[in-house]
Amino acid sequence: MVEGRRHWTFLTNHGHVLICIARDPGIRGRDIADRVGITERAAQAIVADLIEAGYVQRTREGRRNRYEINPDLPVRHPVEQPHRVGDLLAAMAGDADLQTTTAAEPPGAG
């Protein structure tokens, strides 16, 4: 980074967390935090936001969480319409790298 210039990115931390979950549905909160560059508490709050809004579903597998993304929901900002979350994730990492499924569709059913 050039000294004196502000650091910024094109996506929000919510977008970064969503990409981390799409790439690794069994990812731990601390690993999300490390990859995104935020605190573990902030990562947990973002995951909670995504779950509350229906973008992510969490299930327990033993002592770990496993996440599923609903790719059919629209992105939230009007400028980004009419795109869906799945479109964003596919553009960021390619379909083969992502584990996006709808809540009604079991993993591997597509």
Could you report how far apart the first and last alpha carbons of the chain are, in Å? 42
**Amino acid 107: pLDDT:** 40
State the Cα–Cα distance between residues 4 and 46, nearest whole angstrom: 29
**Amino acid 2: pLDDT:** 58
pLDDT tens digits, one per residue of 48-68: 999 999 999 999 999 999 999
**Amino acid 34: pLDDT:** 98
110 has pLDDT over 50: no
**pLDDT exceeding 90 applies to what percent of the chain?**
67
**Amino acid 96: pLDDT:** 47
Domains of the chain, with CATH numbers?
A: 13-97 (1.10.10.10)
- Dihedral sign (CA 93, 96, 101, 107): negative
| Confidence (pTM) | 0.79
18 has pLDDT over 80: yes
Q: What is the mean pLDDT of residues 63-85?
A: 94
20 has pLDDT over 80: yes
